[in-house]
Structure 1
């Protein structure tokens, strides 16, 4: 009996010792051997860049350079790349348009070349996928943006009809209603002299939120207001998690930030679940499902051949609430800031709107004739794209620009750097020149693939046309009623909170026409 117990103990000790040795070797492999082996592999191919640093890689330098750049405002100019993407800007300056950096233990290849960026974004063979993120970042948004393979293709196909151009044209009256409401609000705030000062970033966030609520969920802004505010807070927490070293299992530790992250997620899901339940009850009571995004998703869920669950519907709603509001609000904000700096272009746009639309609400047909407005919006998207960079992850062994890439490598695509590259846009790349787009996007640059404000390839932003039509309607109606200029209190400080935003808001002085 004692002999059997001794054997059992010895076996248990040996098993524990083996597990410890295996765990230690695994840690050594992950945090040292593999990164250093990959660094050597890339160096042998002539790829320049930083050397791997234990655990953190370049994460600390990335965070430090961003905090330093964002700690002070900049002159009123479009020389924003060093402030918005200081680390990537410096990397490209030092090591070239294809260079090696490190996100913790993962090698990250920065690709700032238009053709190579296009190859990555148009990949249809599964070589590049969305990167696996810190689970705390994923709380911000999942949905179709995070899916891959057949599951992504199926979900994308389900959602695409909601963004067909004919359906978007039907939404223009709803766009106009929201825009007219905000014009009425601004008019009510005018002084006897006919002026008022507004933070248009906050105003356009409300406007975009109201448009989404009306067109995608069949409700008003007030019903979804809490979701928008919570999503903004979650975005800040997601950025913090993205820039921090993640230890597996850390998300389960009830730190103050973790508790807040999960509390926000629960509140958003509870609110969306209530909206979904209200919609479903309306259908049971004989009301139409509706052609909005939520109605479309619920129709898909009811069809037996789709595996869409309520949780899937909630995630798609979260994604559209965040992406739809942020993209349009940012575009309109930077447009008013820019047109305040260039009053000649503001007047050109106003004259076009008055000539095409008069003082009436723009229709779908009239919007198509707003060429100057379109040129201005495209140039603003070039200078201030919603996403300053995108990331892909190598899923299979492949190559970029003659560099062999093994699986498990991040590919950083700095859209902002591309949009400011003199190679594609000329020596005046940092100047606001809407006439670049006079003959359309394809002829605006020396390379038609050097303009990626909404991505490119099969995963381009589905809401691209939605955002552009909304922006055209809003800008046209504003130009019909006001001229505007920067407030003396405006501080020029573009920075990233997932999307490119004005760090200190956007105070603009509105003047009644």
Structure 2
């Protein structure tokens, strides 16, 4: 008899916890945000809005893409649709997890400042960390402040102007490659549709081809070796006298910080590589 009562009590406790996590708590959060003017698609028991998102993505992918730069409704149809319905700031549900979407510029700025440290950064998955490393995107605290200071200098408007000739030369080279491409029937159509994926993909994209941890680690090592070669090339120019500094671009400042005599300001090789990964992917 006591065993039956114990099992019944355990079942009742588990049921109450389940209903709290999957029903009462989401509905309470939804009510609280609605009362503050934050609307959104209603919470659905257990799956939230995930079924709606999958349906909208399938519908978007089934339609051909028009010749337009507005690809947001194609790649993120649920976000595009709900912004139009509920406004720039709204709430939706990833299962039982509340997702507050903010696209109002002033609020975005406030969140990114995070001066009260109330919004912790989301830790990347193990595979994403192989891709972007532990750079500015995921860093926090003193380490973030130190490496953000380097980035602030390089990406100041005046410094970016110095990159304009290199950007123009790169784009002109790419356009020259596209110029002579013909249509499938041998003709050159008046409006050309060119698959540019091969021009913007590199070894980083291999990380997405497999979820296998061993393969991702091997590819991460290849990426690190590539970055180290670039760094060594920059260092060698100083050693043999071709240059009197490591340069004033972001890579140059990272290499300089890597050789800093002050241990507190010195970057490790891992930090240097991770920042290169982060900004290469961002670029």
What residue in structure 2 maps to residue 159 of structure 1?
151
Asked which structure has the greater RCO (Cα within 8 Å, sep 6+), the reply is 1
Offset at residue 297 of structure 1 (A): 0.4
Equivalent position of 2:77 in the other structure: 86
1:231 aligns with 2:190: no
Equivalent residue, structure 1, for 2:94: 103
Q: Is residue 35–residue 107 contact of structure 1 (8 Å, CA) maintained in 2? A: no
CA contact (8 A) 2:124 2:138 kept: no
Residue by residue, what CA displacement relative to the aligned partner does 1:462-512 show, whole Å, maximum 9, x if unpaired? xxxxxxxxxxxxxxxxxxxxxxxxxxxxxxxxxxxxxxxxxxxxxxxxxxx
Aligned to 1:308, what secondary structure does the other structure show?
A: coil
CA deviation map 1:86-114 (0-9, x unaligned): 22244446656544322344311233545
- Of the candidates 240, 254, 272, which is equivalent to residue 313 of structure 1? 272
3-state SS of 1:108 partner: strand
Q: Say if 1:62 and 1:267 are closer, same or farther in 2 by CA, change over 3 A.
A: farther
Query: Quick one: distance in 2 between partners of 1:83 and 1:169?
Result: 33
Aligned mates of 1:136, 1:186 — CA distance in 2: 33
Contact map agreement 2:251 2:276 (CA 8 A) in 1:
yes
Unaligned runs of 5+ in 1: 1-20, 206-227, 238-254, 325-513
Q: Which has the higher strand share?
A: 1
Structure 2's unaligned 5+ residue stretches are 1-9
- 1:126–1:149 CA contact under 8 A, matched in 2: no
Q: Say yes or no: does 1:201 pair with 2:192.
A: no
Cα 1:307–1:34 change in 2 (3 A) is farther
Normalised to the residue count of structure 1, the TM-score between the two structures is 0.42
Match 1:294 to one of 235, 245, 251: 251
Rounded to whole Å, the distance in 1 between the matches of 2:163 and 2:80 is 40
* Worse-matched range after superposition: 76-85 or 60-69: 76-85
- Matched-pair contact (CA < 8 Å) for 1:65–1:86: yes
Q: 1:290 and 1:113, CA in 2 relative to 1: closer, same or farther beyond 3 A? A: closer
Give CA-to-partner distance per residue, 1:247-284, whole Å, 9 cap, x none: xxxxxxxx854444333322212222232234334433
SS at match of 2:202: helix
- In structure 2, what is the equivalent of residue 146 of structure 1? 138
Is the Cα contact below 8 Å between 1:159 and 1:297 reproduced in 2?
Answer: no
Q: CA deviation at 1:36?
A: 4.2
- Separation in 1 of the partners of 2:162 and 2:249? 11
Query: C-alpha separation between the residues in 2 aligned to 1:85 and 1:116?
Result: 21
Aligned pairs, number: 257
CA deviation digits over 1:320-378, x for unaligned, max 9? Answer: 22111xxxxxxxxxxxxxxxxxxxxxxxxxxxxxxxxxxxxxxxxxxxxxxxxxxxxxx
Taking structure 2 as the reference length, the TM-score comes to 0.70
CA RMSD of superposed structures (Å): 3.9
Equivalent residue, structure 1, for 2:122: 131
Provide the rounded CA distance (Å) in 1 between the counterparts of 2:180 and 2:73: 40
Q: Distance in 1 between matches of 2:80 and 2:189?
A: 40
Give the Cα separation in 2 of the matches to 1:88 and 1:41.
23
How far is the alpha carbon of 1:136 from its aligned partner? 2.5
Report what 1:280 is aligned to: 235
The residue matched to 1:132 in structure 2 has which SS?
coil
Q: Superposed, which structure 2 residues align to 1:111-510 within 5 Å?
A: 111-142=102-133, 143-182=135-174, 184-185=176-177, 199=194, 201-202=196-197, 205=200, 228-234=201-207, 236=208, 257-288=212-243, 289-303=246-260, 304=262, 305-324=264-283
Distance 2:205 2:116 in 1: 35
